């Protein structure tokens, strides 16, 4: 955190340098999918040398998961130029359309009198979907709702991998999808103390026990705990099957 004097914020351990939350999926069918366009997206892509993108999910409309969206534009340039779909729940449409009107309402804003100059506009289209199991671009996903403060977050299940971030609980409908079906669980785990909009360590550990995945990765941590301390805390309870995730980590599922 900017200006924070704590030990984690000044740690020399690379695993304590936590950029904003997102994941990038490379599927067996060679699809390349980004989940969330964080304000760190540009730096994350540049340092990972990732050059491909077929579409994006946006889990919810909070700034830390969304505000890097303009940096998707190099993937649209081509040649040939291509539009990229942004897959969201209906609940998040209005905020995306108003906050990024130059992207999602570009047909209204730019016209013959006021043409867009320069050619650098991100060519993104909203693809609204409902919760449930569906095939998207040849891949089967099960999407579910997670409560997050006053709003909801999209939970994502794909071929044994479940991505559960930004939620203060996992409701029964989502647990039915996850329990017994999850090999790799990537789960919200903000800090030790309870939090109004996120899972804390106690709640995340309870859900991991109930879902019983083969492996679980804790994510979306703040600076409450270092990677080393988090690792120890998880190991004491679960052995090596539960670990904190870190930036640039690659996970097979
Ligand atoms: Zn959030
Ligand atoms: Zn978040």
- Interval between CA 172 and ligand 1 midpoint (Å): 20
- Cis ω before 79 (30° cut-off from 0): yes
Q: How far is CA 191 from CA 61, 127, 149, 219, in A?
A: 22, 33, 16, 10
Domain 15-129 classified CATH 3.60.15.10?
Answer: yes
Q: Which residues have CB less than 5 Å away from ligand 2 (the ion)?
A: 64, 166
**H or E segment and range at residue 101:** helix 101-104
Domains 15-129 and 130-245 fall in the same CATH topology? yes
- Interval between CA 62 and ligand 1 midpoint (Å): 5
**Considering every ligand atom, which ligand is closest to the CA of 61?**
1
- Alpha carbon 152 to chain centroid distance? 13
- Interval between CA 120 and ligand 1 midpoint (Å): 28
- Interval between CA 21 and ligand 2 midpoint (Å): 6
**Considering every ligand atom, which ligand is closest to the CA of 92?**
1
Pair of tokens at residue 73: 């534009």
What's residue 145's pLDDT? 98
- Interval between CA 90 and ligand 1 midpoint (Å): 16
What's residue 110's pLDDT? 87
CATH code of the region 130-245:
3.60.15.10
How many C-beta neighbours within 10 Å does residue 2 have?
Answer: 4
Report yes or no: 201 and 216 within 8 Å, Cβ to Cβ.
Answer: no
Residues 6+ positions from 26 with CB-CB distance below 8 Å? 32
Per-residue pLDDT of the chain (253 residues; tens, 9 = 90+): 999 999 999 999 999 999 999 999 999 999 999 999 999 999 999 999 999 999 999 999 999 999 999 999 999 988 888 999 999 999 999 999 999 999 999 888 888 888 888 878 899 999 999 999 999 999 999 999 999 999 999 999 999 999 999 999 999 999 999 999 999 999 999 999 999 999 999 999 999 999 999 999 999 999 999 999 999 999 999 999 999 999 999 999 9
Please report, for the chain, the start and end positions of each structural domain, with discontinuous segments joined by +: 15-129, 130-245
- Interval between CA 31 and ligand 2 midpoint (Å): 25
- Interval between CA 78 and ligand 1 midpoint (Å): 32
**Considering every ligand atom, which ligand is closest to the CA of 168?**
1
**Considering every ligand atom, which ligand is closest to the CA of 60?**
1
Report yes or no: 58 and 36 within 8 Å, Cβ to Cβ.
Answer: yes
What's residue 96's pLDDT? 98
**Considering every ligand atom, which ligand is closest to the CA of 219?**
2
- Interval between CA 199 and ligand 2 midpoint (Å): 11
Q: DSSP class of residue 111? A: -
**Considering every ligand atom, which ligand is closest to the CA of 188?**
2
What's residue 109's pLDDT? 87
**Considering every ligand atom, which ligand is closest to the CA of 147?**
1
What's residue 80's pLDDT? 86
Q: pTM for this structure?
A: 0.96
**Considering every ligand atom, which ligand is closest to the CA of 35?**
2
**Considering every ligand atom, which ligand is closest to the CA of 190?**
2
**Considering every ligand atom, which ligand is closest to the CA of 154?**
1
What's residue 114's pLDDT? 87
User: What pairing do the DSSP bridges indicate for beta strands 84-89 and 132-136?
Assistant: unpaired
What's residue 192's pLDDT? 97
| d(C-alpha 190, C-alpha 192), whole Å | 7
């Amino acid at each position: 955190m900017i200006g924070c004097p704590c030990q984690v914020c000044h740690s020399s351990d690379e695993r304590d340098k936590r950029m904003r939350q997102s994941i990038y999926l490379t599927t067996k069918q060679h699809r390349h999918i980004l989940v969330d366009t964080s304000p760190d997206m540009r730096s994350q892509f540049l340092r990972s040398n990732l050059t491909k993108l077929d579409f994006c999910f946006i889990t919810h409309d909070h700034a830390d998961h969304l505000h890097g969206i303009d940096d998707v534009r190099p993937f649209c340039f081509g040649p040939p130029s291509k539009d990229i779909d942004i897959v969201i729940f209906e609940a998040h449409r209005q905020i995306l359309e108003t906050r990024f009107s130059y992207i999602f309402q570009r047909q209204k804003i730019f016209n013959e009198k006021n043409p867009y100059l320069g050619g650098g506009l991100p060519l993104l289209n909203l693809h609204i979907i409902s919760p449930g199991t569906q095939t998207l671009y040849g891949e089967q996903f099960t999407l579910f709702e997670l409560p997050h403060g006053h709003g909801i977050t999209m939970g994502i299940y794909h071929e044994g991998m479940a991505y559960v971030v930004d939620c203060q609980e996992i409701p029964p409908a989502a647990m039915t999808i996850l329990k017994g079906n999850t090999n790799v669980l990537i789960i919200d785990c903000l800090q030790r103390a309870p939090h109004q909009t996120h899972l804390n360590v106690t709640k995340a550990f309870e859900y991991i026990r109930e879902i019983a995945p083969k492996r679980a990765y804790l994510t979306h941590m703040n600076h409450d705990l270092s990677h080393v301390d988090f690792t120890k805390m998880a190991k004491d309870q679960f052995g090596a099957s539960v670990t904190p995730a870190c930036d640039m980590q690659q996970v097979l599922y």
